[in-house]
Amino acid sequence: MNAFLFVAVPYLALVLAVLGGLYRYYANRFSYSSISSQVLESRKLFWGSVPWHYGIIPILLAHLLAGLFPGTAARILGSSGRLLVLELLGMALGLFTAFGIVVLIIRRVLRNSPVHKLTSIMDGILLAVLAAQVVTGVGTAMFARWGSLWYLHTAVPWFWSIVRLEPDASAVAVLPSLVKFHMVNGFVVILLFPFTRLVHVFTVPLDYLWRPYQVVIWNHRARRPEDLRGS
């Protein structure tokens, strides 16, 4: 079972994410967006989207940077004071993210919401998977303490073994069930990328940073004072 969960599932998710994402981009490029529903209902979207993005982005960056630079991360976490501060900060960001995903779910499940009728099956599946990921992440932070430290000695070696095409699940096989579910579900999220609105992550307009400035010219004639007197 561990070989299937921690070897087969990651490779399956990565292959489908890459191939499915490329196919969707070239076959239906205009669907590469978040399919915003702000025009239908913006207030709940604001209270859901802002906590979600401001919570999940630092968490993902922390996971990524610790995985890419485990030695630096180990030195930062070497102090008990810094470890405690980062643990509390991670827990707070997790709760902030959880609040956001709950609001996003509510705005789509309420039958009197204008967004409800436009919610697809894939939207529901995506929200359920993301909610499970957030809940298990917060649960891990609360009940499997000092996760930012043992993450470096379990999940990081496992991840790099997958990258090197030498998969070794021994480091994560002994972890609690909650943590293992969180890890596997993370790859389920990756698997869903090409089939859901998550693809909008790859549409960040970075070219705005170097494109020429845009000149806006109004094509209507400004009314002169004499025009106003004559009317």
Taking the model in full, what pTM does it have? 0.79
Report the chain's terminal Cα–Cα distance, integer Å.
Answer: 82
Distance (Å, rounded) from C-alpha 2 to C-alpha 10?
A: 12
Distance (Å, rounded) from C-alpha 148 to C-alpha 133?
A: 16
- Where the chain has pLDDT below 70, the residues are 29-44, 114, 200, 202-231
Secondary structure of residue 38 in the 3-state scheme: coil
Residue whose token pair is 């990081």: 156
CA 20 vs CA 25, 27, 71, 210: distances in Å: 9, 10, 34, 29
pLDDT score at 195 = 85
pLDDT score at 29 = 66
Residue 133's closest CA among 83, 87, 190? 190
CATH of 2-230, one of 3.30.470.20, 1.20.1090.10, 1.20.950.20, 1.10.357.10: 1.20.950.20
Distance (Å, rounded) from C-alpha 142 to C-alpha 135?
A: 11
pLDDT score at 147 = 86
Residue 149's closest CA among 57, 85, 58, 61? 85
CA 124 vs CA 103, 116, 181: distances in Å: 14, 10, 20
What are the structure tokens assigned to 123, written together?
Answer: 């939207």
pLDDT in tens, 154-173: 999 999 999 999 999 998 99
Q: What residue ranges do the domains of the chain occupy?
A: 2-230
Residue whose token pair is 């496992």: 158
pLDDT score at 203 = 64
pLDDT score at 39 = 44
